[in-house]
A = this chain, B = another copy of it.
Amino acid sequence: MTGPRKTRRATVHDVAAAAGVSRGTVNRVLNGGYVSADARTAIEAAIAEVGYVPNRAASMLARQRSQAVGFLALEPHSLLLEDPNIGAIMLGANSALSLADHQMVSLVIDSDRDMQRVGRYLSGGFVDGAIIVSARSHDPIIRLIGEIGLPTTFVGHPPDLARDMPYVGIDNAGSALAITRRLMATGRTRIGMIAAALDRDSGADRLTGFKQALGERFDPGLVADVPLYDYTYGVKGMRALLDREPAIDGVFAASDAVAAGALEALREAGRRVPEDVGLVGFDDSSWALRTQPPLSTVHQPAREVGRTAAELVLRQIAGAEPVELSVVLDSPVVWRHSA
């Protein structure tokens, strides 16, 4: 973000290069410090070596507490309009922040314009920390958060740029493996998957678990790949699978909303669920109980995810180092009537 300078003064970038750490790590030390002792020692040595003078005013400002924590959903259309889990995650996060007398402020990013403005908001001292849902590596906000050293927790695995940040998640691959095995155990022989959001860890991991469960029986032709976890893509994905393999008798949909859409496409095609096709979802969101038949699925503990994410942000604000804070919560298979 810094352009070439004429009078060359040492920057955070120089410190980071000399210490062999990321700029985010340097900024965290400058802004209140929660990095490993080794990193701190290296950074302090590097500051002396390159002659870096921190901007004290900015640093003081950064230390002021707003008692507010941002909640960012980086896929607003799909999340706000389609995903009932997001509400439960928000309520869980809000309850934990509320107990600690912190205000949760939920920020929508729906355009590049929003992205820039939210970036200014996060760097402007309006929040002491952030919870980020559905981040992808190309979201510019990820780089910014590293640069400003904002205490942050990701819901789901953080993207590559933020691998040192804590997250709260579930074992997507393991749970996908478990529910696919359970579906195989019902005697289905042509099992397909409607994979979604493969540009995110959750989506990619669910496909990985599905492949692992099928092993040598895995057939790439029976994977329909859709961009988002939503109902409409579920309809499209299922139609594609039926076109490719009319004899399909089992389907793992990457989310309950996708499964609900798949159910519509199966109904259209005159297939009965579970008699002709066994269908399973993922999330155990409100969709799961409202389809007819109710969905067999993987339970995501959405409120607990939100609560835990908030607690991890609060611990960082209180000075905890972000390393090894991450939490993986249980996500058991819930067997109902769709398979």
Interfacial residues, chain A to chain B (CB-CB below 8 A): 68, 76-77, 79-82, 84, 86-88, 90-91, 94-95, 98-99, 101, 103-108, 110-111, 113-114, 117-118, 121, 126, 231, 260, 264, 267, 286, 290, 292
Contact = CB atoms under 8 A, between A and B. Distances in A.
21 contacts: A68-B126, A76-B94, A79-B87, A80-B87, A80-B88, A81-B91, A94-B114, A95-B110, A95-B111, A98-B110, A98-B113, A98-B114, A98-B117, A99-B113, A103-B107, A103-B117, A105-B105, A105-B107, A106-B106, A264-B290, A264-B292
B84 A81 contact: yes
Contacts of A88: 80-81
A231 B80 contact: no
Residue with the highest number of chain B CB atoms closer than 10 Å, among A108, A117, A121, A264: A108
A108 B94 contact: yes
Nearest to A88: B81
A88 to B, nearest CB: 6
A106 to B, nearest CB: 4
Contacts of A106: 105-108
A80 B76 contact: no
Contacts of A121: 68, 103
A91 B77 contact: yes
Contacts of A90: 80, 108
Q: Which of A77, A99, A107 has the most CB of B within 10 A?
A: A107
B110 A91 contact: yes
Contacts of A126: 68, 126
A152 to B, nearest CB: 17
Pick from A90, A95, A98 the residue with the most CB of B within 10 Å: A98
A90 B82 CA distance: 14
A30 to B, nearest CB: 25
Given A81-B88, A103-B117, 9 more contacts: A68-B121, A76-B87, A91-B110, A98-B110, A101-B117, A103-B107, A106-B108, A231-B290, A292-B292
Given A104-B107, A292-B267, A91 B118 contact: no
A99 B107 CA distance: 15
A290 B260 contact: yes
Contact of A108 (B79, B91, B118, B292): B91
Given A81-B88, A126-B126, A292-B267, A94 B117 contact: no
A68 B111 CA distance: 17
Nearest to A80: B87
Contacts of A117: 98, 101, 103
